[in-house]
Chain A
Protein backbone atom coordinates (compact mmCIF):
# COMPACT_ATOMS: atom_id res chain seq x y z
CA UNK A 1 0.00 0.00 0.00
CA UNK A 2 2.55 2.72 0.44
CA UNK A 3 4.93 4.48 -1.81
CA UNK A 4 4.99 1.88 -4.50
CA UNK A 5 1.33 2.31 -5.29
CA UNK A 6 1.47 6.08 -5.59
CA UNK A 7 4.25 6.33 -8.05
CA UNK A 8 3.48 3.15 -9.92
CA UNK A 9 1.06 4.07 -12.69
CA UNK A 10 2.82 7.07 -14.20
CA UNK A 11 6.43 6.05 -13.63
CA UNK A 12 7.13 3.10 -15.83
CA UNK A 13 10.82 3.86 -15.52
CA UNK A 14 10.82 3.36 -11.77
CA UNK A 15 12.84 0.49 -10.33
CA UNK A 16 11.00 -2.66 -11.39
CA UNK A 17 9.47 -4.93 -8.78
CA UNK A 18 11.05 -7.88 -10.47
CA UNK A 19 13.77 -8.06 -13.07
CA UNK A 20 14.85 -11.44 -14.42
CA UNK A 21 17.80 -11.59 -16.78
CA UNK A 22 19.11 -14.54 -18.77
CA UNK A 23 17.62 -17.18 -16.51
CA UNK A 24 18.55 -20.74 -17.51
CA UNK A 25 17.44 -23.99 -15.92
CA UNK A 26 17.59 -27.45 -17.37
CA UNK A 27 16.77 -30.90 -16.05
CA UNK A 28 18.93 -33.41 -17.84
CA UNK A 29 18.15 -32.77 -21.50
CA UNK A 30 14.98 -30.82 -20.86
CA UNK A 31 15.35 -27.04 -20.87
CA UNK A 32 12.76 -25.54 -18.57
CA UNK A 33 14.05 -21.97 -18.67
CA UNK A 34 15.87 -20.83 -21.79
CA UNK A 35 17.44 -17.41 -21.21
CA UNK A 36 14.33 -15.85 -19.74
CA UNK A 37 14.17 -12.05 -19.46
CA UNK A 38 11.18 -10.71 -17.62
CA UNK A 39 10.25 -7.47 -15.88
CA UNK A 40 7.37 -6.78 -13.56
CA UNK A 41 6.77 -3.07 -13.00
CA UNK A 42 5.65 -1.73 -9.65
CA UNK A 43 1.91 -2.13 -9.15
CA UNK A 44 1.22 -3.98 -12.37
CA UNK A 45 -0.29 -7.35 -12.99
CA UNK A 46 2.01 -9.11 -15.39
CA UNK A 47 0.48 -12.26 -16.82
CA UNK A 48 2.63 -15.17 -17.89
CA UNK A 49 0.88 -17.48 -20.29
CA UNK A 50 1.96 -20.50 -22.26
CA UNK A 51 1.05 -24.12 -22.92
CA UNK A 52 1.44 -26.83 -20.32
CA UNK A 53 5.03 -27.80 -19.75
CA UNK A 54 6.33 -24.42 -20.91
CA UNK A 55 8.18 -23.97 -17.63
CA UNK A 56 5.94 -21.52 -15.83
CA UNK A 57 5.88 -23.25 -12.47
CA UNK A 58 9.61 -23.92 -12.73
CA UNK A 59 10.13 -20.19 -13.18
CA UNK A 60 8.12 -19.39 -10.05
CA UNK A 61 10.07 -21.99 -8.09
CA UNK A 62 13.31 -20.33 -9.17
CA UNK A 63 12.03 -16.89 -8.28
CA UNK A 64 11.19 -18.19 -4.80
CA UNK A 65 14.54 -19.90 -4.41
CA UNK A 66 13.04 -23.38 -4.21
CA UNK A 67 15.05 -24.30 -7.30
CA UNK A 68 18.48 -22.95 -8.13
CA UNK A 69 18.88 -21.64 -11.67
CA UNK A 70 21.85 -22.78 -13.76
CA UNK A 71 22.51 -19.21 -14.90
CA UNK A 72 21.00 -15.74 -14.87
CA UNK A 73 20.11 -13.15 -12.28
CA UNK A 74 16.98 -12.18 -10.40
CA UNK A 75 16.51 -8.74 -8.89
CA UNK A 76 13.70 -7.62 -6.65
CA UNK A 77 13.23 -3.87 -6.30
CA UNK A 78 16.68 -3.34 -7.76
CA UNK A 79 18.52 -5.71 -5.46
CA UNK A 80 19.86 -9.12 -6.38
CA UNK A 81 18.23 -11.97 -4.51
CA UNK A 82 20.24 -14.74 -6.16
CA UNK A 83 22.06 -15.72 -3.01
CA UNK A 84 19.03 -15.57 -0.74
CA UNK A 85 17.14 -18.50 0.74
CA UNK A 86 13.42 -18.84 0.22
CA UNK A 87 12.81 -17.46 3.70
CA UNK A 88 14.90 -14.36 3.05
CA UNK A 89 13.11 -13.79 -0.25
CA UNK A 90 9.81 -13.80 1.60
CA UNK A 91 11.29 -11.19 3.92
CA UNK A 92 12.11 -9.11 0.84
CA UNK A 93 8.42 -9.13 -0.05
CA UNK A 94 8.02 -12.16 -2.32
CA UNK A 95 5.17 -14.60 -1.86
CA UNK A 96 3.71 -17.35 -3.99
CA UNK A 97 0.62 -19.46 -4.27
CA UNK A 98 0.75 -23.07 -5.38
CA UNK A 99 -1.06 -24.47 -8.38
CA UNK A 100 -1.59 -27.77 -6.63
CA UNK A 101 -2.52 -26.40 -3.26
CA UNK A 102 0.12 -26.76 -0.59
CA UNK A 103 -1.58 -26.13 2.73
CA UNK A 104 -1.25 -27.52 6.23
CA UNK A 105 -3.93 -30.21 6.18
CA UNK A 106 -4.15 -30.85 9.94
CA UNK A 107 -4.65 -27.18 10.76
CA UNK A 108 -7.79 -25.12 10.62
CA UNK A 109 -8.20 -22.43 8.00
CA UNK A 110 -7.42 -19.81 10.63
CA UNK A 111 -4.28 -21.56 11.82
CA UNK A 112 -2.96 -21.82 8.27
CA UNK A 113 -3.07 -18.04 8.05
CA UNK A 114 -2.06 -17.47 11.67
CA UNK A 115 1.15 -19.42 11.14
CA UNK A 116 2.02 -17.15 8.24
CA UNK A 117 1.32 -14.06 10.35
CA UNK A 118 3.40 -15.52 13.14
CA UNK A 119 6.34 -16.20 10.84
CA UNK A 120 6.15 -12.66 9.47
CA UNK A 121 6.20 -11.24 12.98
CA UNK A 122 9.25 -13.36 13.65
CA UNK A 123 8.37 -14.24 17.23
CA UNK A 124 8.37 -17.97 16.91
CA UNK A 125 11.00 -18.98 19.42
CA UNK A 126 8.42 -18.66 22.16
CA UNK A 127 7.98 -21.75 24.20
CA UNK A 128 5.67 -20.78 27.02
CA UNK A 129 2.61 -18.71 26.08
CA UNK A 130 -0.27 -20.69 24.59
CA UNK A 131 -0.65 -19.69 20.97
CA UNK A 132 -4.37 -20.45 20.97
CA UNK A 133 -4.97 -17.62 23.44
CA UNK A 134 -3.12 -15.06 21.34
CA UNK A 135 -6.05 -12.82 20.43
CA UNK A 136 -3.98 -10.40 18.39
CA UNK A 137 -2.73 -13.22 16.20
CA UNK A 138 -6.24 -14.56 15.71
CA UNK A 139 -7.62 -11.17 14.80
CA UNK A 140 -4.87 -10.51 12.30
CA UNK A 141 -5.41 -13.88 10.70
CA UNK A 142 -9.11 -13.19 10.45
CA UNK A 143 -8.58 -9.95 8.54
CA UNK A 144 -6.92 -11.91 5.76
CA UNK A 145 -9.68 -14.48 5.82
CA UNK A 146 -12.27 -11.73 5.56
CA UNK A 147 -10.42 -10.22 2.61
CA UNK A 148 -10.52 -13.54 0.76
CA UNK A 149 -14.08 -14.47 1.64
CA UNK A 150 -13.18 -17.23 4.06
CA UNK A 151 -14.27 -15.61 7.34
CA UNK A 152 -17.12 -18.05 7.79
CA UNK A 153 -14.84 -21.05 7.37
CA UNK A 154 -12.17 -20.05 9.87
CA UNK A 155 -12.63 -23.04 12.16
CA UNK A 156 -12.89 -25.62 9.41
CA UNK A 157 -10.08 -28.10 8.85
CA UNK A 158 -8.32 -27.58 5.53
CA UNK A 159 -9.09 -31.16 4.58
CA UNK A 160 -12.80 -30.29 4.60
CA UNK A 161 -12.53 -27.30 2.25
CA UNK A 162 -13.73 -27.38 -1.34
CA UNK A 163 -11.14 -26.96 -4.06
CA UNK A 164 -12.20 -23.38 -4.65
CA UNK A 165 -11.91 -22.57 -0.97
CA UNK A 166 -8.45 -24.06 -0.86
CA UNK A 167 -7.45 -21.75 -3.70
CA UNK A 168 -8.82 -18.82 -1.75
CA UNK A 169 -6.88 -19.95 1.30
CA UNK A 170 -3.71 -20.16 -0.78
CA UNK A 171 -4.20 -16.49 -1.55
CA UNK A 172 -5.02 -15.62 2.07
CA UNK A 173 -1.85 -17.32 3.31
CA UNK A 174 0.26 -15.54 0.71
CA UNK A 175 -1.28 -12.18 1.64
CA UNK A 176 -0.58 -12.83 5.31
CA UNK A 177 3.12 -12.54 4.55
CA UNK A 178 2.37 -8.93 3.45
CA UNK A 179 4.02 -9.34 0.06
CA UNK A 180 5.02 -6.58 -2.31
CA UNK A 181 5.35 -9.02 -5.19
CA UNK A 182 2.91 -11.85 -5.48
CA UNK A 183 3.60 -14.87 -7.69
CA UNK A 184 0.31 -16.54 -8.51
CA UNK A 185 0.50 -20.04 -9.99
CA UNK A 186 -2.79 -20.66 -11.79
CA UNK A 187 -5.12 -19.30 -9.13
CA UNK A 188 -8.18 -20.05 -11.31
CA UNK A 189 -7.27 -23.63 -12.15
CA UNK A 190 -10.09 -25.99 -11.28
CA UNK A 191 -12.44 -23.22 -10.22
CA UNK A 192 -16.05 -23.00 -11.39
CA UNK A 193 -17.25 -19.97 -13.30
CA UNK A 194 -18.63 -18.14 -10.28
CA UNK A 195 -15.56 -18.91 -8.22
CA UNK A 196 -13.33 -17.63 -11.01
CA UNK A 197 -15.21 -14.35 -11.14
CA UNK A 198 -14.84 -14.04 -7.38
CA UNK A 199 -11.10 -14.69 -7.62
CA UNK A 200 -10.75 -12.13 -10.41
CA UNK A 201 -12.50 -9.55 -8.25
CA UNK A 202 -10.21 -10.33 -5.33
CA UNK A 203 -7.08 -9.95 -7.44
CA UNK A 204 -8.41 -6.76 -8.98
CA UNK A 205 -8.91 -5.43 -5.47
CA UNK A 206 -5.25 -6.06 -4.73
CA UNK A 207 -4.05 -4.24 -7.81
CA UNK A 208 -1.86 -1.25 -7.09
CA UNK A 209 -1.20 -2.56 -3.60
CA UNK A 210 0.91 -5.48 -4.75
CA UNK A 211 2.77 -6.22 -7.95
CA UNK A 212 1.74 -9.54 -9.38
CA UNK A 213 3.13 -12.14 -11.71
CA UNK A 214 0.07 -14.10 -12.77
CA UNK A 215 0.54 -17.52 -14.33
CA UNK A 216 -2.82 -18.48 -15.74
CA UNK A 217 -4.51 -20.53 -18.44
CA UNK A 218 -7.90 -18.85 -18.16
CA UNK A 219 -7.62 -16.19 -20.88
CA UNK A 220 -10.74 -14.37 -19.76
CA UNK A 221 -9.10 -13.84 -16.40
CA UNK A 222 -5.82 -12.82 -18.01
CA UNK A 223 -7.44 -10.27 -20.31
CA UNK A 224 -9.56 -8.97 -17.46
CA UNK A 225 -6.65 -8.46 -15.09
CA UNK A 226 -3.33 -8.10 -16.86
CA UNK A 227 -1.52 -4.87 -17.66
CA UNK A 228 1.07 -6.71 -19.68
CA UNK A 229 1.52 -10.26 -20.87
CA UNK A 230 4.52 -12.45 -21.58
CA UNK A 231 4.25 -15.68 -23.49
CA UNK A 232 6.41 -18.62 -22.48
CA UNK A 233 6.83 -21.54 -24.86
CA UNK A 234 9.32 -24.33 -24.27
CA UNK A 235 11.17 -22.29 -21.70
CA UNK A 236 11.51 -19.22 -23.92
CA UNK A 237 9.69 -15.91 -23.80
CA UNK A 238 8.46 -15.57 -27.38
CA UNK A 239 6.56 -12.33 -26.89
CA UNK A 240 6.01 -9.67 -24.29
CA UNK A 241 3.78 -6.61 -24.41
CA UNK A 242 0.46 -5.03 -23.59
CA UNK A 243 -2.74 -7.03 -23.74
CA UNK A 244 -3.59 -5.68 -27.19
CA UNK A 245 -0.11 -6.28 -28.58
CA UNK A 246 -0.17 -9.87 -27.47
CA UNK A 247 -3.70 -10.45 -28.70
CA UNK A 248 -2.66 -9.30 -32.17
CA UNK A 249 0.75 -10.95 -32.30
CA UNK A 250 0.67 -13.56 -35.10
CA UNK A 251 3.38 -15.71 -33.53
CA UNK A 252 1.50 -15.90 -30.30
CA UNK A 253 -1.71 -16.77 -32.06
CA UNK A 254 -0.17 -19.73 -33.81
CA UNK A 255 1.97 -20.82 -30.92
CA UNK A 256 -0.48 -20.51 -28.19
CA UNK A 257 -3.75 -18.64 -28.34
CA UNK A 258 -5.41 -20.70 -31.04
CA UNK A 259 -4.76 -23.83 -29.16
CA UNK A 260 -5.56 -22.31 -25.79
CA UNK A 261 -8.98 -21.07 -26.88
CA UNK A 262 -10.05 -24.40 -28.24
CA UNK A 263 -9.02 -26.76 -25.48
CA UNK A 264 -8.92 -25.51 -21.95
Chain B
Protein backbone atom coordinates (compact mmCIF):
# COMPACT_ATOMS: atom_id res chain seq x y z
CA UNK B 1 0.00 0.00 0.00
CA UNK B 2 1.04 3.55 -0.73
CA UNK B 3 1.33 4.67 2.83
CA UNK B 4 3.78 1.96 3.79
CA UNK B 5 6.73 4.28 3.15
CA UNK B 6 4.78 7.40 4.03
CA UNK B 7 4.22 6.23 7.55
CA UNK B 8 7.79 6.55 8.89
CA UNK B 9 8.05 9.99 7.26
CA UNK B 10 4.81 11.09 8.87
CA UNK B 11 5.87 9.70 12.22
CA UNK B 12 9.17 11.57 12.15
CA UNK B 13 7.41 14.77 11.08
CA UNK B 14 4.95 14.35 13.94
CA UNK B 15 7.73 13.76 16.42
CA UNK B 16 9.64 16.84 15.24
CA UNK B 17 6.47 18.90 15.55
CA UNK B 18 5.86 17.59 19.07
CA UNK B 19 9.44 18.38 20.09
CA UNK B 20 9.19 21.89 18.67
CA UNK B 21 5.75 22.52 20.17
CA UNK B 22 6.70 24.18 23.51
CA UNK B 23 9.14 26.60 21.89
CA UNK B 24 6.67 27.51 19.17
CA UNK B 25 3.90 27.92 21.72
CA UNK B 26 6.08 30.19 23.84
CA UNK B 27 7.29 32.25 20.91
CA UNK B 28 3.76 32.85 19.69
CA UNK B 29 2.45 33.63 23.15
CA UNK B 30 0.12 30.63 23.45
CA UNK B 31 1.79 29.06 26.45
CA UNK B 32 -1.38 27.23 27.37
CA UNK B 33 -0.94 25.02 24.33
CA UNK B 34 1.92 23.21 26.03
CA UNK B 35 -0.26 22.24 28.99
CA UNK B 36 -2.99 21.20 26.61
CA UNK B 37 -0.54 19.04 24.67
CA UNK B 38 0.74 17.46 27.88
CA UNK B 39 -2.78 16.45 28.77
CA UNK B 40 -3.36 15.08 25.29
CA UNK B 41 -0.26 12.89 25.59
CA UNK B 42 -1.30 11.58 29.00
CA UNK B 43 -4.90 10.91 28.03
CA UNK B 44 -3.62 9.40 24.80
CA UNK B 45 -1.73 6.78 26.83
CA UNK B 46 -4.85 6.04 28.87
CA UNK B 47 -7.11 5.80 25.82
CA UNK B 48 -4.65 3.65 23.91
CA UNK B 49 -4.44 1.31 26.90
CA UNK B 50 -8.21 1.03 27.04
CA UNK B 51 -8.28 0.50 23.30
CA UNK B 52 -6.01 -2.52 23.70
CA UNK B 53 -8.75 -4.44 25.49
CA UNK B 54 -11.68 -2.67 23.88
CA UNK B 55 -10.65 -2.40 20.25
CA UNK B 56 -8.27 -5.33 19.93
CA UNK B 57 -9.77 -7.66 22.50
CA UNK B 58 -13.44 -6.76 22.20
CA UNK B 59 -13.81 -6.34 25.98
CA UNK B 60 -15.97 -3.30 26.70
CA UNK B 61 -14.52 -2.17 30.02
CA UNK B 62 -16.37 0.67 31.69
CA UNK B 63 -14.02 0.78 34.65
CA UNK B 64 -10.66 1.92 33.41
CA UNK B 65 -10.78 5.08 35.48
CA UNK B 66 -9.99 2.80 38.43
CA UNK B 67 -6.52 2.13 37.05
CA UNK B 68 -5.99 5.73 36.03
CA UNK B 69 -6.98 6.87 39.51
CA UNK B 70 -4.93 4.30 41.37
CA UNK B 71 -1.89 5.32 39.35
CA UNK B 72 -2.46 8.88 40.44
CA UNK B 73 -2.97 7.90 44.06
CA UNK B 74 0.24 5.85 44.12
CA UNK B 75 2.14 9.03 43.27
CA UNK B 76 0.11 11.08 45.74
CA UNK B 77 0.33 8.63 48.62
CA UNK B 78 4.04 8.02 48.18
CA UNK B 79 4.57 11.77 48.11
CA UNK B 80 2.54 12.32 51.27
CA UNK B 81 4.54 9.71 53.16
CA UNK B 82 7.71 11.26 51.82
CA UNK B 83 6.64 14.74 52.92
CA UNK B 84 5.51 13.59 56.37
CA UNK B 85 8.55 11.34 56.70
CA UNK B 86 6.54 8.44 58.00
CA UNK B 87 6.60 5.13 56.12
CA UNK B 88 3.42 3.72 54.62
CA UNK B 89 2.06 1.06 57.01
CA UNK B 90 5.30 1.57 58.92
CA UNK B 91 7.16 -0.34 56.21
CA UNK B 92 7.30 1.36 52.86
CA UNK B 93 9.10 4.69 52.84
CA UNK B 94 7.53 7.45 50.77
CA UNK B 95 9.35 8.91 47.83
CA UNK B 96 9.31 11.78 45.39
CA UNK B 97 11.49 10.08 42.79
CA UNK B 98 9.72 9.50 39.51
CA UNK B 99 11.99 6.58 38.70
CA UNK B 100 10.37 4.82 41.65
CA UNK B 101 6.85 6.21 41.57
CA UNK B 102 6.11 5.31 37.94
CA UNK B 103 7.13 1.66 38.30
CA UNK B 104 5.23 1.54 41.58
CA UNK B 105 2.13 2.89 39.83
CA UNK B 106 2.53 0.27 37.11
CA UNK B 107 2.84 -2.47 39.70
CA UNK B 108 -0.13 -1.43 41.80
CA UNK B 109 -2.43 -0.81 38.85
CA UNK B 110 -1.38 -4.16 37.42
CA UNK B 111 -2.33 -5.93 40.65
CA UNK B 112 -5.65 -4.09 40.76
CA UNK B 113 -6.33 -4.98 37.13
CA UNK B 114 -5.55 -8.61 37.88
CA UNK B 115 -8.13 -8.60 40.67
CA UNK B 116 -10.85 -6.74 38.77
CA UNK B 117 -10.15 -8.64 35.56
CA UNK B 118 -10.15 -12.03 37.27
CA UNK B 119 -13.64 -11.33 38.59
CA UNK B 120 -15.24 -9.53 35.69
CA UNK B 121 -13.89 -11.84 32.98
CA UNK B 122 -15.83 -14.68 34.52
CA UNK B 123 -18.75 -13.20 32.65
CA UNK B 124 -19.04 -11.47 29.33
CA UNK B 125 -21.20 -9.10 27.37
CA UNK B 126 -23.40 -6.77 29.30
CA UNK B 127 -22.47 -8.18 32.70
CA UNK B 128 -18.84 -7.41 31.98
CA UNK B 129 -19.72 -3.77 31.32
CA UNK B 130 -21.77 -3.45 34.49
CA UNK B 131 -19.25 -5.23 36.68
CA UNK B 132 -16.23 -3.25 35.56
CA UNK B 133 -18.28 -0.10 36.11
CA UNK B 134 -19.41 -1.19 39.56
CA UNK B 135 -16.02 -2.37 40.78
CA UNK B 136 -14.38 0.88 39.67
CA UNK B 137 -17.08 2.83 41.44
CA UNK B 138 -16.40 0.82 44.57
CA UNK B 139 -12.82 2.05 44.51
CA UNK B 140 -14.12 5.57 44.09
CA UNK B 141 -16.13 5.23 47.29
CA UNK B 142 -13.12 3.79 49.07
CA UNK B 143 -10.94 6.79 48.28
CA UNK B 144 -13.71 9.24 49.08
CA UNK B 145 -13.83 7.72 52.55
CA UNK B 146 -10.07 7.60 53.14
CA UNK B 147 -9.69 10.80 55.14
CA UNK B 148 -6.00 10.05 55.66
CA UNK B 149 -5.50 10.66 51.98
CA UNK B 150 -7.70 13.69 51.62
CA UNK B 151 -11.06 11.95 51.19
CA UNK B 152 -13.35 13.98 48.97
CA UNK B 153 -10.82 16.76 48.56
CA UNK B 154 -8.07 14.60 47.15
CA UNK B 155 -4.34 14.79 47.77
CA UNK B 156 -2.25 17.80 46.93
CA UNK B 157 1.24 16.96 45.72
CA UNK B 158 3.27 20.01 46.54
CA UNK B 159 6.05 19.31 44.08
CA UNK B 160 6.19 17.22 40.95
CA UNK B 161 8.31 14.08 41.36
CA UNK B 162 12.03 14.50 40.82
CA UNK B 163 14.03 13.06 37.99
CA UNK B 164 17.83 13.14 38.32
CA UNK B 165 19.35 16.07 36.44
CA UNK B 166 16.06 17.67 35.41
CA UNK B 167 14.26 20.72 36.68
CA UNK B 168 10.78 19.37 37.16
CA UNK B 169 9.34 22.73 38.16
CA UNK B 170 9.55 23.75 34.54
CA UNK B 171 6.37 23.05 32.57
CA UNK B 172 8.38 22.40 29.45
CA UNK B 173 10.46 19.75 31.17
CA UNK B 174 7.31 17.99 32.33
CA UNK B 175 6.01 18.10 28.78
CA UNK B 176 9.20 16.52 27.46
CA UNK B 177 9.15 13.84 30.14
CA UNK B 178 5.57 13.00 29.18
CA UNK B 179 6.54 13.01 25.52
CA UNK B 180 9.43 10.63 26.17
CA UNK B 181 7.19 8.29 28.15
CA UNK B 182 4.55 8.47 25.43
CA UNK B 183 7.05 7.62 22.69
CA UNK B 184 8.39 4.68 24.69
CA UNK B 185 4.85 3.53 25.47
CA UNK B 186 3.90 3.84 21.85
CA UNK B 187 6.91 1.83 20.68
CA UNK B 188 6.02 -0.95 23.13
CA UNK B 189 2.41 -0.88 22.07
CA UNK B 190 3.43 -1.06 18.43
CA UNK B 191 5.39 -4.25 19.09
CA UNK B 192 2.62 -5.61 21.26
CA UNK B 193 -0.18 -5.25 18.73
CA UNK B 194 1.87 -7.02 16.10
CA UNK B 195 2.88 -9.86 18.37
CA UNK B 196 1.67 -13.44 18.62
CA UNK B 197 -0.23 -12.46 21.72
CA UNK B 198 -2.21 -9.81 19.87
CA UNK B 199 -2.92 -12.29 17.09
CA UNK B 200 -4.69 -14.42 19.68
CA UNK B 201 -6.42 -11.45 21.28
CA UNK B 202 -7.83 -10.14 18.00
CA UNK B 203 -8.91 -13.69 17.19
CA UNK B 204 -10.81 -13.82 20.47
CA UNK B 205 -12.60 -10.60 19.58
CA UNK B 206 -13.77 -12.14 16.33
CA UNK B 207 -14.92 -15.48 17.67
CA UNK B 208 -14.26 -16.90 21.07
CA UNK B 209 -15.93 -20.13 20.00
CA UNK B 210 -13.52 -20.62 17.13
CA UNK B 211 -10.53 -19.90 19.33
CA UNK B 212 -11.70 -22.48 21.88
CA UNK B 213 -12.22 -25.02 19.11
CA UNK B 214 -8.56 -24.74 18.08
CA UNK B 215 -7.51 -25.41 21.63
CA UNK B 216 -7.23 -22.03 23.30
CA UNK B 217 -8.38 -21.21 26.83
CA UNK B 218 -9.66 -17.66 26.37
CA UNK B 219 -9.71 -16.60 30.01
CA UNK B 220 -6.02 -16.26 30.71
CA UNK B 221 -5.29 -14.42 27.48
CA UNK B 222 -8.05 -11.95 28.14
CA UNK B 223 -6.87 -11.53 31.70
CA UNK B 224 -3.29 -10.81 30.66
CA UNK B 225 -4.54 -8.28 28.10
CA UNK B 226 -6.68 -6.69 30.78
CA UNK B 227 -3.71 -6.41 33.14
CA UNK B 228 -1.50 -4.86 30.46
CA UNK B 229 -4.26 -2.41 29.67
CA UNK B 230 -4.77 -1.53 33.32
CA UNK B 231 -1.05 -0.90 33.77
CA UNK B 232 -1.08 1.51 30.83
CA UNK B 233 -3.89 3.46 32.44
CA UNK B 234 -2.04 3.40 35.75
CA UNK B 235 1.00 4.90 34.05
CA UNK B 236 -1.17 7.66 32.58
CA UNK B 237 -2.68 8.34 35.99
CA UNK B 238 0.76 8.61 37.59
CA UNK B 239 1.83 11.13 34.96
CA UNK B 240 -1.38 13.07 35.39
CA UNK B 241 -0.90 13.31 39.15
CA UNK B 242 2.58 14.66 38.50
CA UNK B 243 1.35 17.12 35.93
CA UNK B 244 -1.56 18.43 38.01
CA UNK B 245 0.29 17.94 41.30
CA UNK B 246 -2.98 16.58 42.56
CA UNK B 247 -4.70 13.22 42.89
CA UNK B 248 -8.40 13.09 43.64
CA UNK B 249 -11.38 10.75 43.60
CA UNK B 250 -12.45 12.50 40.39
CA UNK B 251 -9.72 10.55 38.63
CA UNK B 252 -11.56 7.32 39.42
CA UNK B 253 -15.07 8.55 38.88
CA UNK B 254 -17.07 6.53 36.39
CA UNK B 255 -17.47 9.52 34.07
CA UNK B 256 -13.70 9.38 33.58
CA UNK B 257 -14.08 5.81 32.31
CA UNK B 258 -16.73 7.12 29.97
CA UNK B 259 -14.41 9.86 28.73
CA UNK B 260 -11.70 7.32 27.92
CA UNK B 261 -14.21 5.35 25.90
CA UNK B 262 -15.30 8.49 24.10
CA UNK B 263 -11.69 9.22 23.17
CA UNK B 264 -11.28 5.73 21.78
CA UNK B 265 -14.44 6.09 19.71
CA UNK B 266 -13.65 9.55 18.42
CA UNK B 267 -10.26 8.39 17.22
CA UNK B 268 -11.14 4.98 15.91
CA UNK B 269 -11.53 1.66 17.68
CA UNK B 270 -8.79 -0.90 17.29
CA UNK B 271 -6.24 1.38 15.68
CA UNK B 272 -2.80 2.25 16.96
CA UNK B 273 -2.96 6.03 16.53
CA UNK B 274 -6.71 6.42 16.91
CA UNK B 275 -6.81 6.87 20.68
CA UNK B 276 -4.18 9.61 20.57
CA UNK B 277 -6.11 11.43 17.90
CA UNK B 278 -9.28 10.85 19.88
CA UNK B 279 -7.66 12.22 23.04
CA UNK B 280 -6.55 15.32 21.11
CA UNK B 281 -10.01 15.83 19.64
CA UNK B 282 -11.63 15.34 23.03
CA UNK B 283 -9.32 17.71 24.92
CA UNK B 284 -9.52 20.41 22.26
CA UNK B 285 -13.29 20.04 22.03
CA UNK B 286 -13.59 20.23 25.78
CA UNK B 287 -11.47 23.39 26.01
CA UNK B 288 -13.28 25.04 23.12
CA UNK B 289 -16.77 24.22 24.34
CA UNK B 290 -15.88 25.05 27.92
CA UNK B 291 -14.65 28.48 26.87
CA UNK B 292 -18.09 29.20 25.42
CA UNK B 293 -20.36 27.79 28.04
CA UNK B 294 -20.32 26.03 31.37
CA UNK B 295 -22.76 23.56 29.84
CA UNK B 296 -20.13 22.25 27.48
CA UNK B 297 -21.09 18.67 28.23
CA UNK B 298 -24.35 19.26 26.39
CA UNK B 299 -22.39 19.93 23.22
CA UNK B 300 -20.13 16.97 23.88
CA UNK B 301 -23.12 14.72 24.44
CA UNK B 302 -24.77 15.79 21.20
CA UNK B 303 -21.59 15.37 19.18
CA UNK B 304 -20.96 11.97 20.68
CA UNK B 305 -24.52 10.88 20.02
CA UNK B 306 -24.26 11.92 16.39
CA UNK B 307 -20.91 10.20 15.98
CA UNK B 308 -22.22 6.95 17.39
CA UNK B 309 -25.55 6.98 15.57
CA UNK B 310 -24.67 8.41 12.21
CA UNK B 311 -21.09 7.76 11.24
CA UNK B 312 -22.20 5.12 8.76
CA UNK B 313 -23.22 2.40 11.11
CA UNK B 314 -21.45 3.95 14.06
CA UNK B 315 -18.32 2.52 15.45
CA UNK B 316 -18.42 -0.53 13.23
CA UNK B 317 -17.87 1.72 10.24
CA UNK B 318 -14.63 2.86 11.75
CA UNK B 319 -13.66 -0.79 11.97
CA UNK B 320 -14.48 -1.40 8.35
CA UNK B 321 -12.28 1.37 7.10
CA UNK B 322 -9.23 -0.25 8.60
CA UNK B 323 -7.03 -2.13 6.22
CA UNK B 324 -6.89 -5.80 7.06
CA UNK B 325 -9.95 -5.92 9.26
CA UNK B 326 -13.64 -5.92 8.81
Contact = CB atoms under 8 A, between A and B. Distances in A.
A103 interface: yes
A115 interface: yes
Nearest to B326: A106
Interface stretch (A37-45, A90-98, A188-196, A222-230): A90-98
Nearest to B322: A106
Interface in B203-255: 203, 206-207, 209-217, 221, 224
B127 interface: no
A124 B213 contact: no
Contacts, number: 100
A239 interface: no
Contact of A96 (B203, B213, B216, B217): B213
B197 A126 contact: yes
B216 A119 contact: yes
Contact of B192 (A96, A120, A127, A157): A127
Interface string A98-111: 10001111111001
A261 B214 CA distance: 34
A51 B206 CA distance: 31
B254 to A, nearest CB: 30
Interface hub of A114, A120, A130, A132 (most chain B Cβ within 10 A) = A130
A131 interface: yes
B324 interface: yes
Contacts of B214: 90, 95, 115-116, 119-120, 173, 176-177
A32 to B, nearest CB: 18
Interface hub of A85, A86, A129 (most chain B Cβ within 10 A) = A86
Contacts of B202: 106-107
Interface residues of A, number: 40
B325 interface: yes
A129 B199 CA distance: 11
B191 interface: yes
Given A104-B206, A104-B210, A124-B197, A91 B215 contact: yes
A137 to B, nearest CB: 8
Contact of A90 (B195, B196, B203, B213): B213
A123 B200 CA distance: 11
13 contacts: A87-B217, A95-B213, A103-B210, A104-B210, A106-B206, A106-B326, A116-B215, A125-B224, A127-B191, A127-B192, A128-B191, A131-B195, A131-B198
Interface of B: 191-192, 194-200, 202-203, 206-207, 209-217, 221, 224, 324-326
Interface of A: 64, 66, 85-87, 90-91, 95-96, 98, 102-108, 111, 114-116, 118-120, 123-132, 134, 157, 159, 173, 176-177
| Closest 9 pairs between A and B when the two form their complex, measured CB to CB | A90-B215, A106-B325, A116-B214, A104-B206, A87-B217, A130-B194, A126-B196, A106-B326, A86-B212
